[in-house]
Structure 1
Amino acid sequence: MRILIIHNHYKEVGGEDTVFFAEAALLEEHGHEVQKLALSNKEVNTISEKLGAAFGVAYNWSSARRIEESIKTFQPDVVHVHNFFPLVSPAVFYICHTYKVPVVMTLHNYRLICPSALLHYDGELQMENVQKVFPLKPILKGVYRNSAFQTASVVLTTGIHKVIGTWRNKVDKYIALTPGAADLFKDSSLNLRQEQVAVKPNFTADPGLGEEERDDYFLYIGRLTPEKGIDTLLKAHQLQNFKLKIIGDGPLREQVQQYAAAHPDTVEYLGFQKREVAMSILKKAKALIFSSEWLETFGMTIVEAFATGTPVIAAKIGGAAHLVQHMYNGLHYTPQQPAQLQEQVQLLQQDNAIATELSHNARFTYEQAFTAEVNYRQLIKIYEDAVRQKKSPASPGLAVKAGLL
């Protein structure tokens, strides 16, 4: 199979970039012909470039020409889009439709239904945006890059393409990372068809099992931002001075540094660390704390923890609510409830038998659902379904009603 994979990199490297490269490599390892077409926000620096990107977000003609040339020369069986925002633009879906190439898109975030991409700002979930074609509150708040103008460009882009049916009629298959995320997208202003959305999680390369005898510290790995539940994590620590290591960087770095300095015997802030270093620390941790309080579409650090046989204590919300099964491979607590988080920490500290059982089940969960081989089979099936659907279009009457003709 010939697969053209398209991605728009952000200025800061993130999880979407990791998945883009990992899935491309996975497909190549299985003998498929893969071509990567990537644009980067690092290309946008001058005022004119920024204005061009803002005005081209709804349909970027320059990107459209690049995509068209790639399709004509590479002749892919399927196109897989990871992120089109902002430089690729929805032009990719119209070019694919014109050349009758099936297109698959991974829903890494909530950008199509909320310009924040998180459904979270002002310290709380913003679920009212899910059903709105043109949500106005985010514009007033300037949730995208702290700019009302740039937020408005996102809202107009996603909204216009909702109205003209791009999301429903020009994308053959969407990949949601958990069943919960799939249900949310299907019951939204995107007006998707039920069969359009498939569920396929991300995967991680096997880092190997962690230590059988764990150290007595707990570990947080992730961005230091409000929606990640940093306040809840630190408040839980205040209730009980358990040993805590924190890996990551972000806007709340100073707050975390100050807290660690005030608790030098129990809190260690390690800043940003390369993956191999973070994995070595994870392999010795009693548990990973996943304190995120927004509707994460997935939770890559959870899967990495499972792979090392490390239990996860997670806020019961979003991807974590699906990935972590309470008292099986980890423990749940209610978001924004530090006392409940502290209780779960205490449980693992006091009951080695439970900690051992959760550890074994965490590794089993990884082997059953999140290895590269399992993921490959799921991904190829989605591609094959998209190709099959493209070759077997609906009847003319149904096609007219769906806006396909």
Structure 2
Amino acid sequence: MRVLHVNKFLYRRGGAEGYLLDLAELQRAAGDEVGYFGMTHPHNESPLPYAEHFPSHVEFEPAPRGLRPRAAAAGRMIWSPAGRRGLARVLADFRPDVVHLHNIYHQLSPSVLAAARAAKVPCVLTLHDYKLACPSYQLLDKGELCDACVTGGPLMAARRRCKDGALGPSALLAVESWLHRSLRAYDPVAVFVSPSRFLAGVMGRAGVFPDRMHVLNHFVDVAALPMKETPGGGVVYAGRLSHEKGVDLLIEAVAALPAGAPVDIAGDGPARPALEERARRLAPGRIRFHGRLDKTRLHELIRSAAVVAVPSRWHENQPMAVLEAFGCGVPVVGTDLGGLPELITAGVDGEIVVADDPAALAVALGRLVADPGRAYAMGRAGRARVERDFSPAAHLTGLRELYALAGAPR
């Protein structure tokens, strides 16, 4: 089978890109031929044979400076002629059996779907966030949980000014989503894949193609992932450093942890300078920031821990941070939002705590750090869970079935 993966970024920027690249590797090992289409970016994987056809690099966070660049970026969010032309050329040369799309919003736009439809290539789209139901992606309004657009439609984003509290950016996101919905820009997608029941439920409430929505777990290749061998260690956080991830709550909780327990934070993002300052102020000398780590080093860091913290204050979908922690044999303390309760079984392979409550987070983390034997046993239970429910073979089989469904007459 020939599979063309389409995503705006083609490097390990976050969970979506990590999943895409790991899936492509899995498919190649199974004998499939895999190609990529995305946006030009200096950090993209190399080599990328079709890079000459990629649309140019643009960033939206922060927004481009100057009226003309901003207007051009806004137009590209709505519809990218360069994205459509580029993908059309790649489709003509690569001739895939299926186009598997991931995060195409903004930098690529659904114009790429028009190219696939014209070429009569079936499309499958894996959802990694809430964009098709929430114009600002995260079910957040100025950092607080919100589902106004899910039930009230995308123009609610403009009314509530949910993007940074500003009318201009909020209105742009609202109009973008309203136009795409009104024009049925995502209609060429035959199959939508949701990694969690929670996300699928949100899309169903928003009326986002519920008849085409299918739940399929992500996967972890534990055969290539050594497990933690001895009890002990501290706390590790691995992920993006941004407000919705709740890393500030972890820093606040550190003071209540047993003395000497190491706390390591791996990852990067816009909140890193503020988080480092917060750590110096609230927990001097107790927290180490490692920045973005390659997969091997990250897994080593996770295995050194007694527990992994996922203190999110937003509705996580199915974060790879949890699955990879379980694969390493380390339990997870996560919050009660989104798909996290689907992954973590309290008292078995981790604990669930109320979101935005650093005291509750500190208690749960502290219990596991103070009882390394219990933490070790819970980590082994997590490993057994991913071996059973998140195997690469099961994921590949399920995905092939969805590819076949996408190619069936509609």
TM-score, normalisation: structure 1: 0.86
The whole-number CA distance in structure 1 between the counterparts of 2:340 and 2:6 is 27
Alignment match, 1:32: 32
**Mapped pair 1:257 → 2:257:** no
Counterparts of 1:176-195 in structure 2, within 5 Å, are 176-190=194-208, 192-194=209-211
The counterpart of 2:366, out of the listed 342, 346, 349, is 346
Counterparts of 1:236-251 in structure 2, within 5 Å, are 236-241=253-258, 243=261, 244-251=263-270
One-letter code aligned to 2:109: S
Gaps of 5+ in 2: 42-55
Q: Could you report, residue by residue, the CA deviation over 1:242-268 in whole angstroms, capped at 9, with x for unpaired residues?
A: 522222333332343234435345433
| Deviation at residue 314 of structure 1 after TM alignment | 0.7
Alignment match, 2:51: none
The counterpart of 1:213, out of the listed 230, 241, 264, is 230
Alignment match, 2:312: 292
The whole-number CA distance in structure 2 between the counterparts of 1:128 and 1:136 is 6
| Deviation at residue 49 of structure 1 after TM alignment | 5.6
* Aligned CA-pair RMSD: 2.7
Alignment match, 1:334: 354
Aligned residues: 386
Alignment match, 1:230: 247
The whole-number CA distance in structure 1 between the counterparts of 2:11 and 2:401 is 32
One-letter code aligned to 1:179: R
1:101 to 1:331, Cα distance in 2 relative to 1, 3 A? same
Counterparts of 1:73-222 in structure 2, within 5 Å, are 73-138=93-158, 141=161, 143=163, 148-167=167-186, 169-190=187-208, 192-194=209-211, 196-206=212-222, 208-222=225-239
| Deviation at residue 9 of structure 1 after TM alignment | 1.8
One-letter code aligned to 2:231: R
Check conservation: 1:103, 1:171, Cα contact below 8 A: yes
Could you say what secondary structure the match of 1:93 adopts? Answer: helix
One-letter code aligned to 1:39: M
| Deviation at residue 78 of structure 1 after TM alignment | 1.4
Alignment match, 2:73: 53
Check conservation: 1:133, 1:162, Cα contact below 8 A: no
1:198 to 1:261, Cα distance in 2 relative to 1, 3 A? same
The whole-number CA distance in structure 2 between the counterparts of 1:315 and 1:184 is 18
Check conservation: 1:64, 1:92, Cα contact below 8 A: yes
| Deviation at residue 175 of structure 1 after TM alignment | 1.0
| Deviation at residue 119 of structure 1 after TM alignment | 1.3
Gaps of 5+ in 1: 394-405
Check conservation: 1:79, 1:103, Cα contact below 8 A: yes
Alignment match, 2:15: 15
One-letter code aligned to 1:228: K
1:73 to 1:240, Cα distance in 2 relative to 1, 3 A? closer
Check conservation: 1:133, 1:189, Cα contact below 8 A: no
Check conservation: 2:231, 2:375, Cα contact below 8 A: no
| Deviation at residue 361 of structure 1 after TM alignment | 0.8
1:250 to 1:61, Cα distance in 2 relative to 1, 3 A? closer
1:272 to 1:66, Cα distance in 2 relative to 1, 3 A? closer
Work out the percentage of aligned pairs sharing the same amino acid.
25
1:347 to 1:138, Cα distance in 2 relative to 1, 3 A? farther
Could you say what secondary structure the match of 1:3 adopts? Answer: strand
Could you say what secondary structure the match of 1:72 adopts? Answer: helix
The whole-number CA distance in structure 1 between the counterparts of 2:192 and 2:296 is 32
| Deviation at residue 219 of structure 1 after TM alignment | 1.2
The whole-number CA distance in structure 2 between the counterparts of 1:14 and 1:353 is 32
Moved more, 369-378 or 135-144: 135-144
TM-score, normalisation: structure 2: 0.85
Check conservation: 2:235, 2:264, Cα contact below 8 A: yes
**Mapped pair 1:2 → 2:25:** no
The whole-number CA distance in structure 1 between the counterparts of 2:111 and 2:258 is 53
The whole-number CA distance in structure 1 between the counterparts of 2:104 and 2:271 is 29
| Deviation at residue 310 of structure 1 after TM alignment | 0.3
Moved more, 61-70 or 103-112: 61-70
Moved more, 244-253 or 216-225: 244-253
Alignment match, 2:58: 44
1:43 to 1:166, Cα distance in 2 relative to 1, 3 A? closer
Check conservation: 2:327, 2:382, Cα contact below 8 A: yes
